[in-house]
């Protein structure tokens, strides 16, 4: 319930020592290769380094939708990155027997007015809605419909501009600048600049493990001293920021946080529930 608990702390007006303003949570890229020769889907987890004990899992469950059904559930076989003792990914990167690959990245809600929608009656936490959607959905549309049922209001995903705006992110842009914007933050600019160099699996891996913060002008932080910042890239290394530096908000400080992995699958690999993975900071 990690993602749910972060939002519940806000909804219940509980102080959190672990909540860091602007803390990044995962990088993701979906790339159709030139000539439509393959489709690559990749994901970097961003997390605290004490969560680096990882397990790649494959589940095969002979479940049926109901006791009277003879057909198996659509997503009976799943492969995903995960953690010890967890029955779901936690990173949110799944390859499913339906042909779906599901993944997400997260942005915190910064609009206190939205917490009124977090109500206990009929609410199902994100981790369980995620599991049910992965097992029952046969299409992307069905996945979104199932996932949204009995929404707890916690750990939702403001990718779309309307949701981004409702989450209070525009106010953060006014206060801190484009770092908090939907399309002009460092990762967005680096992806936009470098995605055209992805022509095969190897170049996709290089991009998803990319961190050249000391030399890349897009990794510079206005208002930071020193200006080069290990958070401002595709696979973060916040631990490499100087402890005695000055930073405008918490995410840019030195902390035991970064990109502890990389996963990528392709149209060819998903048929065998396969993906390439790298563990440990870049």
For the chain, how many structural domains are there in total?
1
Flag whether 156 is in a domain: yes
Sheet holding 39-44, edge to edge: 27-32, 39-44, 261-266, 276-279
Answer whether residue 164 is part of any domain. yes
With respect to residue 220, please indicate whether it lies within any of the assigned structural domains.
Answer: no
Structure confidence at residue 16 (pLDDT): 59
Mean confidence (pLDDT) of the chain: 92
Tally Cβ neighbours within 10 Å of residue 66.
7
d(CA 281, CA 260): 4
Closest C-alpha to 26, from 266, 235, 218? 235
Per-residue confidence band for 19, with pLDDT thresholds at 50, 70 and 90: confident
Put simply, whether the predicted model's pTM sits higher than 0.85 gets the answer yes
pLDDT at 15: 67
User: Is 140:146 a contact under the CB 8 Å cutoff?
Assistant: no
- Tens digits of residue pLDDT in 74-129: 999 999 999 999 999 999 999 999 999 999 887 788 899 999 989 888 899 999 99
Q: What is the CATH number of the domain that holds 52?
A: 3.60.60.20
DSSP assignments along 126-163, one per residue: HHHHHHHHHHH-SSHHHHHHHHHTTB-SSS----SHHH
DSSP 33: P
Angle subtended at Cα 127 by Cα 85 and Cα 123, rounded to the nearest 5 degrees: 135
In a domain, 241, yes or no: no
Give the Cα separation of 145 and 203 in Å (integer). 34
Domain annotation covers residue 199: no
Cα–chain-centroid distance for residue 119?
Answer: 25
Angle between helices 126-136 and 2-11 (to 10 degrees): 140
Question: What residue numbers bound the domain in which 50 lies?
Answer: 2-178+260-279
pLDDT at 250 over 60: yes
What pLDDT is recorded for position 18? 57
In a domain, 202, yes or no: no
* Residue 125 maps to a domain: yes
Q: Which of 48, 70, 54 is nearest to 279 (CA)?
A: 54
Query: Stretch 18-22: mean pLDDT, rounded?
Result: 76
pLDDT tens, residue by residue, 31-83: 999 999 999 999 999 999 999 999 999 999 999 998 998 999 999 999 999 99
| DSSP letter, residue 222 | T
Contact 267, 38 (CB under 8 A): yes
Say what the pLDDT of residue 174 is.
95
Whether omega for the bond prior to residue 32 falls within 30 degrees of 0, making it cis, is no
The per-residue DSSP string of 71-113 comes to SBPTT-EEEEEE-TT-SS-SS-EEEETTS-EEE--------GG
Contact 82, 55 (CB under 8 A): yes
Within-domain flag for 186 = no
């Amino acid at each position: 319930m990690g993602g749910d608990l972060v939002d519940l702390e806000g909804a219940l007006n509980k102080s959190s020592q672990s909540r860091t303003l602007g803390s990044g949570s995962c990088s993701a890229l979906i790339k159709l290769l030139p000539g439509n020769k393959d489709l690559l889907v990749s994901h970097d987890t961003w997390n605290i380094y004490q969560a680096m004990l990882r397990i790649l899992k494959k589940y095969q469950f002979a479940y049926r939708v109901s006791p009277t059904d003879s057909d198996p559930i659509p997503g009976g076989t799943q492969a995903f990155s995960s953690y010890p003792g967890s029955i779901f990914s936690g990173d949110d990167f799944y390859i499913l027997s339906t042909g779906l690959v599901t993944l997400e990245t997260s942005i915190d809600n910064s609009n206190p007015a939205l917490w009124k929608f977090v109500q206990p009656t009929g609410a199902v936490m994100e981790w369980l809605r995620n599991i049910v959607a992965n097992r029952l959905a046969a299409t992307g549309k069905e996945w979104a419909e199932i996932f949204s049922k009995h929404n707890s209001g916690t750990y939702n995903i403001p990718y779309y501009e309307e949701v981004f705006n409702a989450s209070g992110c525009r106010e953060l842009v006014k206060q801190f600048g484009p770092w908090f914007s939907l399309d002009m933050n460092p990762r967005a600019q680096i992806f936009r600049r470098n995605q055209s160099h992805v022509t095969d699996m190897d170049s996709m891996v290089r991009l998803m493990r990319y961190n050249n913060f000391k030399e890349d002008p897009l990794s510079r932080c206005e208002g930071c001293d020193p200006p080069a910042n290990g958070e401002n890239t595709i696979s973060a290394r916040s631990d490499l920021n100087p402890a005695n530096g000055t930073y405008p908000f918490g995410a840019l400080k030195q902390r035991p946080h970064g990109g502890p992995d990389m996963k990528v699958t392709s149209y060819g690999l998903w048929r065998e529930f396969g993906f390439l993975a790298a563990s440990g900071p870049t």
